[in-house]
Amino acid sequence: MFKSNSTKWTISLVVIALIIAVGITISPDNPTFTPQTAIGQTNDSLNQDFEYLERANRAFIKVVNRAKPAVVQITTTRSVPTRQNRSDPFSDDWFEFWFGPRDRAEPEEQEEVRGLGSGVIVSEDGYILTNNHVIERAEGIAVVLPNGREYKATVVGKDAGRQGTDLAVLKIDGNDLPILLLGNSEDLEIGEWVIAIGSPFGLAQTVTRGMVSAKGRTSHGIDIAYTDFIQTDAAINRGNSGGALINIRGELIGINTAIATGSGFSYGNVGVGFAIPTNLAKRVMTQLIEKGEVERGWLGVSLQPIDYDLAEKLKLEEPRGALIREAYKGTPAHKAGIRRGDVIVEFNKMTIRDMNHLMHVVAETGVGETVEVKVSRKGAEKVLKVKLEKRTPEVLDRLAGRGADEGDIGAFADIQVQNLTNELAARYGYEGESGVIVAAVERRSPAARAGIGVGTLIQEIEDVEISNLKDYRERIQAVKDQPKILLYIRLPNNRGAAFVTLENQSD
């Protein structure tokens, strides 16, 4: 009897264990065994997830395949002096370090240097957006399409980085070319997926994916005047410059321009790349095509960022706006009543975040346009009306002759010059003299080989006296068609004077 009951209990326990393990329920309404479907349900859920992933994967592939034909490789060529063996104790580097540029009776041998970058076709008839630094100083520019077809390109216009956005527009002769549609970069959101396409290290049609890390980034040490970068972690490397940053709809929302590299010998991608927003690129491109240059509004002020301590002293609730360090006499700002110590908090009904933001909105405002500017002055707000003028090198030169010319004026692109101030005249021994003084010169350039260095005073161009930057630019423009240009220069600290000839680099 006991054994029989024991057997029954054993069978009951086994059945219960099976019910728990297998997942069987007994319905009181219908006393049948019903196996649970937990495993089956899990598999269905996984399958559904895989379907979503596969659909997203296919969507990315389709977007990339549509965009790639419009992203091109740009190759440039230019001639430079042949580099001598650095182990030679009498090489150029060693000799010029101690004695300055050596005289050469015979022309130095030249070698061809090739450059690589990327570009984006934005019109079916062949307009291409790229970076100015991709084609800067190039003597020949070729555009290679993904199908291998090569075109010779011409420069429509450029907006050099030190005074502009580092954008350039090229043109190739073509019809029905593949293009990328321009998206609205203002609609970008931080965290949004983006795709970078370009030719890093010469590897054409390279695709990387990431997200928008930040918007409205400043230069981060990059030598570009007007920066409002999109920051992305999509891998960007050397050669990606000028390439496309697109959204998941396949629209162009940025031109890849720069990267922040690691320290030491690291020059590769570290997940911090910068792209010029399409909205800014579109405005620059339109002006370059229509006018050949970019017109920018100009206030005539110097600015200073605002920290928490300054905000407290200026009676601001938080650090915001742009602090006027100086409003120069005779400029639009000064005429409108803007004064040193004012904080511009609104410009043309737009709230100003910081000084970099103000620079952008002023530059993008039409020349000659009158706008309302709200300033905070000692805690009280005041609205002023300002009529903007055109920002040009000439109006900047009027402001006490500060700063070096950036050299991007055609004939002498390897020289940077500035007005001769009293301080510079005393430093280099030019008291009582006139002219423009060389602030920088490219090593082993034609100018350096002719004996021109930092501190050289240029006093004549083709027998016409030069007194300031305005004279310098006007004279270069007047002789732009001459293959060689005669200069009269004076060397620092009474080391003599000489006539020299330079090749016209814009000829």
* 170 pLDDT tier (thresholds 50, 70, 90): very high
What six digits make up the tokens of 333? 């700002």
* 406 pLDDT tier (thresholds 50, 70, 90): very low
Residue 217 contacts residue 256 (beta carbons within 8 Å): no
Q: What is the pLDDT of residue 5?
A: 56
State how far the Cα of 371 lies from the Cα of 448, in Å rounded to an integer: 47
State the chain's mean pLDDT as an integer. Answer: 81
pLDDT for 35 beyond 60? no
* 47 pLDDT tier (thresholds 50, 70, 90): confident
Q: What is the pLDDT of residue 148?
A: 92
What is the DSSP secondary-structure string of 226-280? S--EEEE-S---TT-TT-EEE-TTS-EEEEEEEE---STT--S--S-EEEEEHHH
DSSP assigned state of 70: G
Mean pLDDT of 242-263: 89
What six digits make up the tokens of 74? 């740009």
State how far the Cα of 149 lies from the Cα of 185, in Å rounded to an integer: 31
Q: State whether the Cα torsion 74-79-81-82 is positive or negative.
A: positive
State how far the Cα of 440 lies from the Cα of 89, in Å rounded to an integer: 26
* 440 pLDDT tier (thresholds 50, 70, 90): confident
pLDDT for 400 beyond 50? no
Q: What is the pLDDT of residue 395?
A: 63
Q: What is the pLDDT of residue 396?
A: 60
Least confident of 98-107, 213-222, 313-322, 449-458: 98-107
**Residue 399: other Cβ atoms inside 10 A:** 15
Residues belonging to the chain: 507
Least confident of 90-94, 108-112, 429-433: 90-94
299 bridge partner residues: none
User: Any residues with CB less than 8 A from the CB of 417 and at least 6 apart, and which?
Assistant: 404, 405, 407, 436, 437, 438, 439, 458, 469, 472
Q: What is the pLDDT of residue 42?
A: 61
In 86-205, alpha helices (H): 92-99, 132-135
What are the phi and psi torsion angles at 338 (to 5°)?
Answer: -75, 135
pLDDT for 17 beyond 80? no
pLDDT in tens, 171-213: 999 999 999 999 999 999 999 999 999 999 889 899 999 999 9
Mean pLDDT of 2-13: 55
pLDDT for 1 beyond 60? no
121 bridge partner residues: 128
User: Any residues with CB less than 8 A from the CB of 280 and at least 6 apart, and which?
Assistant: 165, 185, 226, 228, 360, 364
Q: What is the pLDDT of residue 491?
A: 92
Instruction: Spell out the long-range contacts of 312-321 with Cβ–Cβ below 8 A and sequence spacing 24 or more.
Output: 314/341, 314/343, 314/376, 314/378, 314/379, 315/376, 315/378, 315/379, 316/343, 316/376, 320/345, 320/351, 320/352, 320/353, 320/354, 321/345, 321/352, 321/353, 321/354, 321/358, 321/376
Residue 113 contacts residue 68 (beta carbons within 8 Å): no
Question: 3-class SS at 13?
Answer: helix
pLDDT for 459 beyond 80? yes
State how far the Cα of 58 lies from the Cα of 34, in Å rounded to an integer: 40
State how far the Cα of 220 lies from the Cα of 229, in Å rounded to an integer: 10
- Whether pTM > 0.85 for this model: the answer is no
State how far the Cα of 116 lies from the Cα of 134, in Å rounded to an integer: 7
In 398-503, alpha helices (H): 422-428, 446-449, 469-478
Q: What is the pLDDT of residue 27?
A: 47
Report the Cα 297 to chain-centroid distance in Å.
20
- Among residues 138, 133, 86, 148, which one has the least CA distance to residue 112? 138
Question: 3-class SS at 402?
Answer: coil
State how far the Cα of 10 lies from the Cα of 443, in Å rounded to an integer: 96
Owner of token pair 């060529």: 77
* 421 pLDDT tier (thresholds 50, 70, 90): confident
Give the rounded percent of residues in the chain with a pLDDT score beyond 70. Answer: 77
Q: What is the pLDDT of residue 397?
A: 55
Class of residue 268 by CB neighbours under 10 A (exposed 0-12, middle 13-18, buried 19+) = middle
State how far the Cα of 30 lies from the Cα of 34, in Å rounded to an integer: 10
Residue of higher predicted confidence among 56 and 177? 177
pLDDT in tens, 95-146: 454 445 555 545 556 777 788 999 999 999 999 999 999 998 899 999 999 9
What is the DSSP secondary-structure string of 104-132? -SSPPPEEEEEEEEEEEE-STT-EEEEEH
Q: What is the pLDDT of residue 91?
A: 46
pLDDT for 409 beyond 70? no
- Among residues 186, 119, 160, which one has the least CA distance to residue 288? 160
pLDDT in tens, 492-501: 988 888 888 8
Q: What is the pLDDT of residue 405?
A: 42
pLDDT in tens, 63-73: 999 999 999 99
Which of 82-91, 391-400, 460-469 is most confident?
Answer: 460-469
Catalytic residue IDs: 133, 166, 241
